[in-house]
Amino acid sequence: MISFYYEENTQKLKEQPLINWLKNVAVTEKKTIDEITYIICDDEYLLDINKKFLDHDTYTDIITFDNSIGKILSADIFISQERVIENAIIFGCSVEEEMRRVLVHGVLHLCGYTDKTDDEQALMTAKENEKLALFHVEQ
């Protein structure tokens, strides 16, 4: 099950196409989604989470709390809608596309991909692009 929750001052997403796509992404990685909860929030909310749980005093677009076991994916994923909007402007893409990139980025972390080194970042970006293409195919 994939659920979305929205903090104050955030806009709701068109959830069902995203849910269908993210389930398909998991299947392409030979994983199954048990329960993924997305919490869409603002910068300050996510900054507080970052400080409290990760001891980081920086803004970020996503924080993933992975509760997966083996091939069964489970997580709470927090996304700053403000960061997504700003990044869309920076990267010259639509807010919807950037949101999809961040949503799938969290799922890819659950699938075992990391982005700490340059090589890992390159692979993560390639995987994001591969999975983003699936969204356009199934819509």
Residues that constitute the known binding site for Zn(2+) = 105, 109, 115
Write the CA distances from 118 to 7, 84, 115, 121, 125, integer angstroms. Answer: 33, 22, 7, 5, 10
Structure tokens given for 90? 């920076």
CA distance 13 to 11: 7
Q: Where is the binding site, in residues?
A: 105, 109, 115
CA distance 39 to 9: 13
CA distance 46 to 62: 8
